[in-house]
Amino acid sequence: MQFVFATNNPNKLKEVQELLPNSIKLLSLKDINCFEEIAETGQTLQENALIKAKYIYEKYGYNCFSDDTGLEVEILNNEPGVYSARYAGETTNSENNMQKLLSNLKNKTNRNAQFRTSIALIIKGKEYLFEGVCKGEILTKKQGKKGFGYDPIFKPKGFSKSFAEMNSLEKGAISHRGKALEKLIAFLLNKID
């Protein structure tokens, strides 16, 4: 079975590729000559994931899946959530997003947070949704250099390392995206058999 994974993020592609069984072949957006930026205009993670998967299916005709992830911080009413990529502004980067979050949590003792990933899958025009959550806390300063996004300031529950101190397989085994992907893979393997 072959699918497009609708992402331009090489880190995500690597994480997902490592977790998939050999029977599921992955194509990147580059592989299908798609170089467009697909606008994430939805109000929820699910909507955004569906927008991207639908766009590729309708324009390029490939079975496709797409993910959207948000970091939900308890004391900030689950912000930044669906706005995680744009927390510090429309044209920002992960460093600015992390600094804004650290500053908003300054002197706060409740640092509970969770990552949530929604995956939308489209096969022959039919839509399916999968979700994964990883609970943890926001550190007071950055730790580690691996990973991407908010990884240096997120410590998953029950671990003493941040996501940025884990390799991609360690992270994938417990992460939001890993859990959502597990559900997707179980669904796909069931379909193939």
Q: Find out whether 138 and 113 touch, Cβ atoms under 8 Å.
A: yes
Residues in binding contact with ligand IMP, number by CB under 6 A: 17
Which of 72, 137, 151, 165 binds ligand IMP (CB under 6 A)? It is: 151
Instruction: Map the footprint of ligand IMP across residues 129-148, applying CB under 6 A.
Output: 147-148
Residue the block writes with tokens 């592609």:
13
Please, what is the minimum distance in Å from the beta carbon of residue 151 to ligand IMP?
4
| Site membership for ligand IMP, residue 97 (CB under 6 A) | yes
* Residue 68 designated active-site: yes
Q: Find out whether 171 and 163 touch, Cβ atoms under 8 Å.
A: yes
Please, what is the minimum distance in Å from the beta carbon of residue 138 to ligand IMP?
11
| Assigned token pair, 181 | 């992907």
Instruction: Map the footprint of ligand IMP across residues 74-93, applying CB under 6 A.
Output: 84-85
| Site membership for ligand IMP, residue 128 (CB under 6 A) | no
| Site membership for ligand IMP, residue 54 (CB under 6 A) | no
Q: Which lies closer to ligand IMP via its Cβ, residue 1 or residue 39?
A: 39
Instruction: Give CA–CA dist 152/67, Å, rounded.
Output: 21
Those residues whose C-beta lies under 8 Å from the C-beta of residue 193, and which sit 6 or more positions away, are none
Please, what is the minimum distance in Å from the beta carbon of residue 110 to ligand IMP?
20
Q: Tell which residue, 174, 44, 61, has the closest CA to residue 122.
A: 61
Q: Tell which residue, 73, 84, 76, 80, has the closest CA to residue 139.
A: 73
Q: Find out whether 161 and 142 touch, Cβ atoms under 8 Å.
A: no
- Active site residues per annotation: 68
* Contacts to ligand IMP by CB under 6 A: 9, 67-69, 71, 84-85, 94, 97, 147-151, 163, 175, 177
